[in-house]
């Protein structure tokens, strides 16, 4: 499964946020495909469509889809040179598909900041620089190899050489790989380099309780937003401390507390929603009398592979998919009505599953 790593300097609120994630966490029994690891928190992806489908179909059981966060502790300045848990830290980041970067935006004189003052941009740059330096090293190594081959006029090597030059220029200017303008073809080439700074980033601005409720962003958050915009990254605002409290509540209590706070969505739900989108993930549903359930697929997944998320037998024996879009099903009011209205389509193995499709797979065992 795709995963998002949580990074940040010490004392910015990472553990507090990660505690909230594991508190709110889903039972891994329902999600056997998820990793079992103390540093991994499994969360259920909130989706209002699932509730609506439950009212329509009245199944015995409703199961949301799940999603993983990995806690990546231990970054300090100098990590790329092996300081602190440097190398371990970098190898953990290499394994995640997106990065949630927690930055301290709360002023609290009782809580020491590693650099003595609250300055989110400096903090972001400390971590980003470590990642850039690690990428610089791997790209330099690679460039030595391809330069030799490019001399022999090897077409692939020449192409790769040109891309590496672009990346090196960016790294030397302390810019991440994701900020480099690349053609689709070049992006394909870069994929194989497994660069840390190519991964999509979501900045999580951790603010105080008071600031969470004020309409205007605080000065720190404003700066983070400006920074992220230039880079093409996203920002969300949370108060990790409140998230820890929210995570202990369930259903109605949670709704009540959010109402009291005057917010519509918990920071954690926001984090899950944005991280899910950042990873290019989509949801389709199965809706039977036994169970209504949401499933996660990368966008662009074809029907047999989507079926494979449920069980590999479904993919192997795939015959056809009966598909109705969520909107059509809700408009019709029931599966039978949707069928009568001609809204249920029979799709074959080349069908690309769309977000919100409600699917019944036919397969051979
Ligand atoms: P980590 O080192 O990044 O994992 O940071 P922690 O989660 O351990 O938090 C460091 C300190 O900051 C702890 O004392 C937390 O209680 C406090 N803290 C975390 N989030 C907030 C917050 O949103 N507001 C305030 N005032 N303190 C927080």
106 plus 12 within the same structural domain: yes
Per-residue model confidence (pLDDT) at position 227: 94
CATH number where 151 lies: 1.10.150.300
Non-local CB neighbours of 245 within 8 Å, separated by 6+ positions: 257
Please say whether the beta carbons of 265 and 272 come within 8 A: no
Is residue 231 included in any domain, yes or no?
A: yes
Q: List the residue whose alpha carbon is closest to atom 24 of ligand 1.
A: 208
Nearest CA to ligand 1 atom 17: 13
| Rounded-to-integer distance, Cα 309 and Cα 56, Å | 24
In angstroms, rounded to a whole number, what is the distance separating the alpha carbons of residues 351 and 353? 6
Task: State residue 163's pLDDT score.
Answer: 93
Burial class (CB in 10 A: 0-12, 13-18, 19+), 322: middle
Residues 230 and 269 in one domain: yes
Q: Which of 13, 100, 204 to mutate to test the pocket of ligand 1 (most atoms within 8 A of CB)?
A: 13
Select from 197, 226, 248 the last residue of a domain: 197
Query: Which two three-digit tokens encode residue 242?
Result: 């409140």
**Interatomic CA distance for residues 143 and 167, integer angstroms:** 10
Q: How many domains does the chain have?
A: 3
Encoded tokens for 311 = 């069980």
The set of residues, in sequence order, having a beta carbon less than 8 Å from that of 129 and lying 6+ positions away, is: 174
State residue 74's pLDDT score: 63
Ligand 1 pocket test: which of 5, 11, 103, 205 has the largest number of ligand atoms within 8 Å of its C-beta?
A: 11
Q: Is 88 annotated as a binding residue?
A: no
Q: Which of 145, 169, 197 corresponds to the end of one domain?
A: 197
Q: Which residues of the chain have pLDDT under 50?
A: none
Which domain, by its residues, includes 325?
Answer: 300-363
Listed in sequence order, the residues at least 6 apart from 67 whose beta carbon sits closer than 8 Å to its beta carbon are 1, 4, 42, 43, 44, 45, 272, 275, 276, 281, 296
15 is in an annotated binding site: yes
Give the model's pLDDT for residue 159.
87
Nearest CA to ligand 1 atom 26: 208
Q: Has 12 been labeled as part of a binding site?
A: yes
51 inside domain? no
Which domain-ending residue is among 218, 244, 278? 278
Cα 110 to middle of ligand 1, angstroms: 10
Helix, strand or coil, per DSSP, at residue 241: helix
ipTM over 0.85: yes
- Please check whether residue 117 lies inside any domain of the structure: no
Residues 32 and 100 in one domain: yes
């Amino acid at each position: 499964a795709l995963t998002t790593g949580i990074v940040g300097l010490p004392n910015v609120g990472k553990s507090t946020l990660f505690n909230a994630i594991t508190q709110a966490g889903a039972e891994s029994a329902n999600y056997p495909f998820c990793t079992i690891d103390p540093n991994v928190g499994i969360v259920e992806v909130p989706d209002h469509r699932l509730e609506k489908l439950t009212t329509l179909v009245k199944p015995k059981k409703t199961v949301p889809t799940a999603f993983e966060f990995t806690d990546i502790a231990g970054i300090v300045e100098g990590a790329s040179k092996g300081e602190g848990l440097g190398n371990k830290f970098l190898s953990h980041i290499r394994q995640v598909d997106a990065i949630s970067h927690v930055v301290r935006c709360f002023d609290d004189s009782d809580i020491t900041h590693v650099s003595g003052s609250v300055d989110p941009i400096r903090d972001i740059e400390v971590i980003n620089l470590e990642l850039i330096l690690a990428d610089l090293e791997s790209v330099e190594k690679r460039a030595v190899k391809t330069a030799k081959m490019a001399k022999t006029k090897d077409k692939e090597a020449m192409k790769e050489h040109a891309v590496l030059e672009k990346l090196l220029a960016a790294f030397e200017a302390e810019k991440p790989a994701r900020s480099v303008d690349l053609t689709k073809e070049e992006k394909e080439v870069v994929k194989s380099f497994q660069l840390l700074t190519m991964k999509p980033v979501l900045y999580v601005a951790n603010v105080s309780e008071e600031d969470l409720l004020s309409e205007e962003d605080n000065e720190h958050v404003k700066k983070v937003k400006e920074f992220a915009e230039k880079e093409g990254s996203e920002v969300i605002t949370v108060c990790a401390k409140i998230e820890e409290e929210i995570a202990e509540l369930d259903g109605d209590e949670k709704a009540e507390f959010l109402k009291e706070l005057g917010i519509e969505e918990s920071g954690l739900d926001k984090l899950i929603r944005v991280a899910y989108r950042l990873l290019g993930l989509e949801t389709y549903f199965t809706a039977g009398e036994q169970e209504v359930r949401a499933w996660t697929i990368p966008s662009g997944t074809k029907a047999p592979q989507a079926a494979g998320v449920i069980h590999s037998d479904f993919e192997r024996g795939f015959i056809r998919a009966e598909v109705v879009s969520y909107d059509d099903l809700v408009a019709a009011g029931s599966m039978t009505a949707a069928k009568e209205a001609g809204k249920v389509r029979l799709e074959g193995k080349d069908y690309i599953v769309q977000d919100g499709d409600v699917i019944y797979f036919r397969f051979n065992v």
